[in-house]
């Protein structure tokens, strides 16, 4: 196990409203840790493959039939490979937790001290009896994964993100986390930042609670994610209530949200080496900080894998010859008439296996069918290159070229 990472929250607080910076740390993914230990093949053999690809959740009062499962099903893609997390606190006095700030979901949950699973024993657990501001909710919830699920109870308490306080925040306390994936997770829980329809059963999402309590300077938040490290730049940063002009260059390209659930936008097309043979007539995409890779319909992703020379492996990923990176084609996503081009160095994930460097494709096949058609997922492979802004005031997403330090 990697040693625990301690996060320092830097905040700038005003009396009536706040602009809050939350440093995000990047850690090795679950897949990477399993692969390094030679356990990935065994893990994938013993677990259903879609364990890494999707999540369905529901929360309901005891005895109430689930009449809205199809519409309120919540999916998180490549969830256990989520790499960027930061720190929050719950309760009075404060109890600290590391969470993935996830724009692909809208619920907050952390492990409970009553959890009986091995995964909980290795993570911070919420002690309700130690908090003087705790309120029992009475509802139960279940989040179902391909290889298992987690169960819990709902509660309300004081939440702090940096120096920003949200009172009576609804959240879930997990009491049962079967399976081995959570055992290796470096984060304790998840803080969803999607629209309320993704959590209309679980209750008021965190950002909506902040908006209702008028604690933010502006009704938006922004992400800076980086695969590069430098003494002058954080590995990642979530800015609540504002935009950091020091973290990007050039103009911001704004795209309207097409469906208020996920941060869903219209994508004009996808081109490989300038040829728009994919999504040629337009398609829908969601912007998801909780997904490591760029995901899309199976047929389209397999076409991209072929065009970039990626070959499948026995453990379900696509690998690329590292020597050939400079000769591989660029992949361009056209959003709002603006080209967002990724070079091979940007869409390939380099990882060390012993003393050998491996290059993995940053594209993943996931079939997510909706009434608007299949969805693409613009995950961290895309978002590390482009500063992203999520504007609830005008229901839009903004992108600008992220300002990264030169390699040292």
One digit per residue, the tens of pLDDT, for the chain of length 408 reads 333 332 323 333 333 467 888 888 776 555 555 555 554 444 444 433 333 333 333 333 333 332 222 222 222 233 344 468 889 999 999 999 999 899 988 989 999 999 988 888 889 999 999 999 999 988 888 876 544 567 899 999 999 998 899 999 999 999 987 766 677 778 898 899 999 998 856 678 999 999 999 999 999 999 998 876 555 556 789 999 999 999 999 999 999 999 999 999 999 999 998 887 799 899 999 999 988 899 999 999 999 999 999 999 877 789 999 999 999 999 999 999 999 999 999 999 888 777 788 899 999 998 888 888 899 999 999 999 999 999 999 999 999 999 987 654
Q: How many domains does the chain have?
A: 2
Cis peptide before 53 (omega within 30 of 0): no
Nearest to 59 by CA among 135, 116, 144: 144
Within-domain flag for 195 = yes
Q: What are phi and psi of 32, to 5 degrees?
A: -65, -45
Helix (H) or strand (E) holding 88: strand 84-90
Instruction: Give me the pLDDT at residue 47, please.
Output: 39
CA 108/CA 276 separation, integer angstroms: 39
Assess whether 204 and 277 both reside in one domain. no
User: Would you call 102 a catalytic residue per the annotation?
Assistant: yes
Within-domain flag for 233 = no
Domain that holds residue 189: 11-212
Q: In this structure, what DSSP letter does residue 182 have?
A: H
* From 102, 208, 300, 380, active-site residue: 102
Q: Checking DSSP bridges between strand 318-320 and strand 356-361, what pairing results, if any?
A: antiparallel
Within-domain flag for 111 = yes
- With beta carbons less than 8 A apart as the criterion, state whether 58 and 71 touch: no
* From 137, 157, 288, 391, active-site residue: 288
Nearest to 384 by CA among 399, 366, 395, 364: 399
Instruction: Give me the pLDDT at residue 255, please.
Output: 98
Q: Which residues contact 202 (CB under 8 A, 6 or more apart)?
A: 57, 59, 106, 107, 141, 154, 170, 172
CA 89/CA 97 separation, integer angstroms: 6
Assess whether 188 and 283 both reside in one domain. no
Nearest to 167 by CA among 214, 220, 127, 219: 214
Assess whether 386 and 300 both reside in one domain. yes
Query: Residue 75 is part of a domain; what is its CATH number?
Result: 2.40.70.10
Between CA 31 and CA 37, with CA 33 as vertex, the angle to 5 degrees is 115
User: Would you call 288 a catalytic residue per the annotation?
Assistant: yes
Within-domain flag for 217 = no
Assess whether 191 and 74 both reside in one domain. yes
Within-domain flag for 237 = no
Q: Which residues contact 1 (CB under 8 A, 6 or more apart)?
A: 122, 184
Instruction: Give me the pLDDT at residue 184, please.
Output: 74
Q: What is the DSSP string of 221-262?
A: EEEEE-SS-BTTB-SEEEEETS--GGGEEEEEEEEE-SEETT
Q: Which residues does residue 359 pair with via DSSP β-bridges, in sequence order? A: 320, 350
Instruction: Give me the pLDDT at residue 372, please.
Output: 80
Instruction: Give me the pLDDT at residue 263, please.
Output: 97
């Amino acid at each position: 196990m990697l040693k625990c990472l301690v996060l320092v929250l830097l905040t700038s607080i005003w009396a009536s409203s706040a602009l809050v910076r939350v440093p995000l740390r990047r850690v090795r993914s679950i897949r990477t840790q399993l692969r390094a230990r030679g356990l990935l093949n065994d893990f994938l053999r013993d677990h259903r493959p879609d364990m890494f690809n999707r999540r369905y959740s529901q929360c309901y009062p005891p005895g109430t039939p689930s009449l809205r499962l199809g519409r309120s099903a919540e999916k998180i893609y490549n969830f256990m490979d989520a790499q960027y997390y930061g720190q929050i606190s719950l309760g009075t006095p404060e109890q600290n937790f590391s969470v993935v700030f996830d724009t692909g979901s809208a619920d907050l949950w952390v492990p409970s001290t009553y959890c009986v699973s091995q995964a909980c024993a290795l993570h911070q657990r919420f002690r309700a009896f130690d908090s003087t501001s705790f309120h029992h909710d009475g509802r139960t919830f279940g989040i179902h994964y391909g290889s298992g699920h987690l169960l819990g109870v709902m509660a309300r308490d004081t939440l702090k993100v940096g120096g920003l306080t949200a009172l009576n925040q609804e959240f879930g306390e997990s009491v049962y986390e079967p399976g081995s994936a959570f055992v290796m997770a470096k984060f304790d829980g998840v803080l969803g930042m999607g629209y309320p329809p993704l959590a209309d059963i679980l209750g008021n999402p965190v950002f909506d609670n902040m908006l209702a309590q008028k604690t933010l300077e502006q009704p938006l938040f922004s992400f800076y994610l980086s695969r590069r490290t430098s003494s002058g730049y954080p590995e990642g940063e979530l800015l609540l209530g504002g935009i950091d002009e020091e973290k990007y260059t050039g103009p911001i390209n704004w795209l309207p949200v097409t469906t208020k659930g996920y941060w869903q936008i219209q994508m004009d097309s996808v081109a490989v080496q300038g040829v728009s043979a994919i999504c040629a007539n337009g398609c829908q995409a969601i912007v998801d900080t909780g997904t490591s890779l760029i995901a899309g319909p199976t047929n389209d992703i397999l076409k991209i894998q072929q065009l970039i020379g990626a070959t499948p492996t026995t453990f379900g990923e696509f690998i690329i010859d590292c020597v050939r990176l400079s000769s591989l084609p660029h992949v361009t996503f056209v959003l709002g008439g603006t080209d967002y081009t990724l070079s091979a160095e940007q869409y390939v994930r380099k990882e060390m296996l012993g003393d050998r460097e491996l290059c993995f494709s940053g594209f993943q096949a996931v079939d997510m069918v909706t009434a608007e058609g299949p969805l693409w997922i613009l995950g961290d492979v895309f978002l590390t290159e482009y500063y992203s802004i999520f504007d609830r005031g005008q229901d839009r997403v903004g992108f600008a070229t992220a300002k990264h330090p030169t390699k040292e």
